[in-house]
Amino acid sequence: MSIAKILLPTAALGLAGVLMLPSQSDAFSVLGTSLTTSQRHFRVFNNFTDPSANDNVTPDTNFPGYTGATMAIWKGAIEWGSRLHGNGNGDPSQVGGLGSGGANFDFYFVGNATGVGSIGDNICSELSGSSGGTLAFTEYFLPPGFNGWRMRFYSGWTWADGPTTGIPVNQDDLQGVSCHEFGHALGLDHSASGGATMFATSTGTGTSARSIEADDIAGVQAVYGVASAGKPIISSIATALNQVTITGSNFSATNNQVWFTQATAGSLTSVVVSGLSSNGTVIVSTVPANAGPGDILVKTSGSGNASLSNAWPFIPGTAPVCPSPYNYCFVNPNSADPNGAFMGWTGTQFISQNNFVLFTSGMPPGSAGIYFFGSGLTALPFGNGWLCVTGSIQRLPIVFTTFFGTASYNLDVTAPPAAGLILPGTAFNFQFWFRDALAGGSNFNLSDGLHVDFCP
């Protein structure tokens, strides 16, 4: 064997070995600028024309309210976040791993836009036309005029919204390509590290750029600093109607802000609730009417990169479903009405509103009677009518029927006997007992029953 026959493969293996080594840690380069905390939002103008750019219609709880191109681009941005976005899921290629930046930096989604916007509006959209080799680009200014960016994806390519990585070879991955472009938006230039998301050139569909690598992480941390120990952190949220309870750490005692995504496409950078207090770990905020599904963040009273929390997926609480009351059981004729007496109601069954009013009609005028309620339903002959309520029966004060043969009672859930019994989530059955001497027999009769579910 000649020397050359030994040296050639040896040298080739050596070269391969060098290329397989971990990329150098400082291959990233920076643009020399950064985004302030009020410039880290982004919107999507979903004008993507390829069917494959919007054929993912499966909702994802980590990216609520949006699918298709918007969701794919949202994922590309979130990968640069300081911590996992929700539980970090949403990308099959990095399960539980979306949110890898570890810096004092988080992009946050503020909803769809209604147009492509200007440079500085932080909007992602498709651009008409084509390019021989450029897939997408980010436009921006540099200091002193640097105040945002605009991201464009050439319509000449065929864009795919994933979410799987198995997209056809003639398509390009919106999530991966946007992840690269968001690196430019935050202040990174191209990297010399071959495996980095910020490496300049692309082969294949681009899905491998979805996950930022060590060199990219070093880059974002160089621009914004490693996530500080004092940076506010959202670790969970709980929503109720018009309210959100945010749990985490490092919240200010006073003057926190909560930032929401706008509910409908528009120009808002975020919907803000200000002046919120906290014990350091919990913030309770109202949810403005114009806030919608998207991201939620906490901005503490401080300033600088470490004053803005991670972005957390948020879905506004919905009004609890409260079934309408319904009538049941039987009635018999009474001296005033051959059809018998029937229950009704006005107001609502929401305990917080305390405005439920019992109402009965079809009775003799000027008769004494009482409303009563219990948890059980029954239908037993009783007096001249039917008993429709059972269980531990509670009686309300005596009322007299009107000249028109009606009766009503304002049910005060804060006063006995209702207080402590009628609570959110409970259900009771109501009935009216009334004297009816003219009818003879037992000299009393009853209305039908009314079943009521009570809500918060």
In the complex with another protein, the residue whose CB is nearer, 205 or 310, is: 205
In the complex with another protein, the residue whose CB is nearer, 130 or 264, is: 130
In the complex with another protein, the residue whose CB is nearer, 133 or 440, is: 133
Burial of 274 (0-12, 13-18, 19+ CB in 10 A): exposed
In the complex with another protein, the residue whose CB is nearer, 181 or 295, is: 181
In the complex with another protein, the residue whose CB is nearer, 13 or 253, is: 13
Q: How many CB atoms are located within 10 Å of the residue 381 CB?
A: 10
In the complex with another protein, the residue whose CB is nearer, 207 or 252, is: 207
**In the complex, minimum distance from the CB of residue 197 to another protein, in angstroms, rounded to a whole number:** 7
**In the complex, minimum distance from the CB of residue 137 to another protein, in angstroms, rounded to a whole number:** 5
In the complex with another protein, the residue whose CB is nearer, 158 or 327, is: 158
**In the complex, minimum distance from the CB of residue 45 to another protein, in angstroms, rounded to a whole number:** 9
Burial of 366 (0-12, 13-18, 19+ CB in 10 A): exposed
HSE-CB at 8 with a 13 A cutoff on CA atoms is 5
Q: How many CB atoms are located within 10 Å of the residue 388 CB?
A: 27
- Per the CB < 8 A criterion, the answer to whether 111 and 268 are in contact is yes
In the complex with another protein, the residue whose CB is nearer, 28 or 371, is: 28
In the complex with another protein, the residue whose CB is nearer, 145 or 397, is: 145
In the complex with another protein, the residue whose CB is nearer, 189 or 412, is: 189
- Per the CB < 8 A criterion, the answer to whether 436 and 383 are in contact is no
In the complex with another protein, the residue whose CB is nearer, 43 or 180, is: 180
- Per the CB < 8 A criterion, the answer to whether 411 and 418 are in contact is yes
Q: List residues near another protein by CB under 8 A.
A: 1, 5-6, 8-10, 12-13, 15-16, 19-20, 31, 115-119, 125, 127-142, 145, 150, 152, 154, 176-177, 180-181, 184, 189-190, 192, 194-204, 206-209
Longest CA–CA span in the chain (Å) reads 127
Q: How far apart are CA 329 and CA 148, in angstroms?
A: 67
**In the complex, minimum distance from the CB of residue 18 to another protein, in angstroms, rounded to a whole number:** 9
Going by C-alpha positions, the residue among 153, 269, 263 that lies closest to residue 202 is: 153
In which residue are the tokens 């005029």 written?
Answer: 145
Q: How many CB atoms are located within 10 Å of the residue 34 CB?
A: 19
**In the complex, minimum distance from the CB of residue 139 to another protein, in angstroms, rounded to a whole number:** 4
Identify residue 284 by its one-letter amino acid code. Answer: V
**In the complex, minimum distance from the CB of residue 77 to another protein, in angstroms, rounded to a whole number:** 15
Q: How many CB atoms are located within 10 Å of the residue 339 CB?
A: 11
> Three-state DSSP class for 307?
helix
**In the complex, minimum distance from the CB of residue 255 to another protein, in angstroms, rounded to a whole number:** 36
Q: How far apart are CA 100 and CA 85, in angstroms?
A: 9
> Three-state DSSP class for 173?
strand
Cβ partners under 8 Å of residue 444, min gap 6: 383, 384, 433, 434, 435, 436
**In the complex, minimum distance from the CB of residue 200 to another protein, in angstroms, rounded to a whole number:** 5
Q: How far apart are CA 89 and CA 237, in angstroms?
A: 17
Q: How far apart are CA 131 and CA 155, in angstroms?
A: 9
In which residue are the tokens 């114009």 written?
Answer: 290
**In the complex, minimum distance from the CB of residue 17 to another protein, in angstroms, rounded to a whole number:** 8
Q: How far apart are CA 103 and CA 83, in angstroms?
A: 9
Q: How many CB atoms are located within 10 Å of the residue 316 CB?
A: 23
**In the complex, minimum distance from the CB of residue 130 to another protein, in angstroms, rounded to a whole number:** 6
**In the complex, minimum distance from the CB of residue 155 to another protein, in angstroms, rounded to a whole number:** 9
**In the complex, minimum distance from the CB of residue 43 to another protein, in angstroms, rounded to a whole number:** 14
In the complex with another protein, the residue whose CB is nearer, 131 or 352, is: 131
Cis status, amide bond into 417, omega within 30 of 0: yes
Q: Indicate left, alpha or beta for 161 from its phi (over 0: left) and psi (-120 to 50: alpha).
A: alpha
